[in-house]
Amino acid sequence: MLKVIDQDGHLVLEDPMLDESLLKDMYWWMLFARVADEKSLSLQRQGRIGTFAPSKGQEAAQVGPSLAMMDKDWFFPAFRELAAYLIRGIPLKNVLLYFMGDPRGNIVPNGVNNLPIYVPVGTQVPQAVGAAYGMKMRGESSAVICYFGDGATSEGDFHEGLNFSGVLNVPAVFICQNNQWAISVPRTRQSLSKTLAQKANAYGIRGIMVDGNDVLSMYLATKEALERAREGKGPTLIEAFTYRLSMHTTADDPTRYRKDDELNEWLERDPLKRFKIYLKEKGIWTEKWQSELEFKAKKLTDEAINAAESMGPLRPRDLFDYMYKETPIALKDQLEYLTRSIEEKEIEEDAPKIEGGFP
């Protein structure tokens, strides 16, 4: 497993001597994502956003690769990559809107080569391979990054997609955030394979295992994989060995299935904590800088919340307008009917009370 700094922030390998500005960016994005994530969780608890999938603990596994990417590269997400979305140019406001049940959260700004969140597990993999084939055909030196979790490696689409990627030799980097849990099912119940990275062998592509809580390792591994992809040397599967410090989603209660001991062990491996020590030893991290970053992160988060909460209402036509490039007459009829039924509504119903959670 590639590891540059250990959980105490000490160098295990030679210092890669990355630019100070890049190191500072890494820390900033991890911290911003952590602040935004924790704030989102509290918004959910206050009923201001709906079901939310926290990414606490996985910041390094997202910040490293995202900073190794170029703008022209394409990003196919799963649904637990907050830090990556922010780096790639998805406004935090959009992420919040998404979890408020507002489709405007899925609008990807023009010029940002990201796809909206993929909820059905693993289904993004074949699509990422298709886009990568397109890049190869056009002879562009760009690449695709595709995220998914440990659970997705059990899906057919994962297998089919990685197999295609090898046969067609496309510029793709697959990042499996192995956070050890697929809701309540542990990694050991997902596959008998010793590592998830080794699955790459079956497809004849390169697979590597990386300490997903070490942002330096994740950055270096992804950068190398992207370079190989751009040079036509084929796809790479990166297993980012990490941990979901929070719940699967806010509808989930992890105390039902996992032990505190395990959680505590991983809290010691917190990606921010160890990187802070590394930066401190290099003389980059200071108390003052930390409080400046925290202030900025909180401010940006508050602004995003305000912006999301002050969006105008959705319209009935938002249901129909984007079904096809040109809306067919049958859908226009349905819109007219819905609009009339809203205007002329006489009987109000109570919302159903739901017990238990849903993922």
Partner 1 sequence: MTKMNMAEALNNALEMELIRDESTLVFGEDVGLNGGVFRITKDLQEKFGAERVFDTPLAESCIVGFAIGLALYGFRPIAEIQFMGFLWPAIDQLSSHASRLRNRSMGRYGVPMVVRFPYGGGVRALEHHAESFESILAHIPGLKIAIPSNPSDAKGLLSSSIRDPDPVVFMEPKRLYRTERSEVDEGEFTVPLGKANVVREGDDITLVGWGAMVPKISKAAELMSEKGISAEVIDLRTINPYDYRTVHGSVEKTGRAVIVQEAPRTCGFASEIIARINDKEIMHLKAPVMRVTGFDVPFPFYKMEEWAIPDLDRIIKASREALTW
* β pairing state of 74-76 and 185-186: unpaired
Tell me, residue by residue from 306 to 335, as one string, x for binding to partner 1 by CB under 8 A and - for no binding: ------------x--xxxxxx-xxx-----
Tell me, residue by residue from 59 to 88, as one string, x for binding to partner 1 by CB under 8 A and - for no binding: ---------------x--------------
CB atoms within 10 A of CB 90: 25
Is 152 in contact with 185 (CB distance < 8 Å)? Answer: no
Q: For the chain, report the end-to-end CA distance as a whole number of angstroms.
A: 31
SS3 158: helix
What is the rounded distance in angstroms from the CA atom of residue 8 to the CA atom of residue 10?
6
338 is a contact residue toward partner 1 (CB under 8 A): no
What is the rounded distance in angstroms from the CA atom of residue 332 to the CA atom of residue 155?
38
Which CB atom, from 79 or from 243, has the smaller least distance to partner 1? 79
Tell me, residue by residue from 136 to 165, as one string, x for binding to partner 1 by CB under 8 A and - for no binding: -x------------------xx--xx-xx-
Q: How many alpha carbons lie under 13 Å from residue 155 in its C-beta half-sphere?
A: 18
What is the rounded distance in angstroms from the CA atom of residue 218 to the CA atom of residue 67?
10
Residues in binding contact with partner 1, number by CB under 8 A: 41
Which CB atom, from 102 or from 270, has the smaller least distance to partner 1? 102
Q: Which of 4, 63, 87, 128 binds partner 1 (CB under 8 A)?
A: 128
Of residues 159-218, which lie at the interface with partner 1 (CB under 8 A)? 160-161, 163-164, 167-168
Which CB atom, from 140 or from 262, has the smaller least distance to partner 1? 140
Stretch that binds partner 1, among 100-108, 210-218, 234-242, 336-344 (CB under 8 A): 100-108
Q: Which of 115, 251, 307, 335 binds partner 1 (CB under 8 A)?
A: 115
CA distances from 348 to 103, 337, 344, 351 (A): 25, 18, 11, 9
Sign of the dihedral through C-alpha 338, 343, 347, 351: positive
CA 329 to chain CA centroid, Å, is 38
232 is a contact residue toward partner 1 (CB under 8 A): no
CB of 130 to partner 1, least distance (A): 2
Which residues of the chain form contacts with partner 1 (CB under 8 A)?
Answer: 74, 103-104, 106-108, 110, 115-116, 120, 123, 125-135, 137, 156-157, 160-161, 163-164, 167-168, 318, 321-326, 328-330
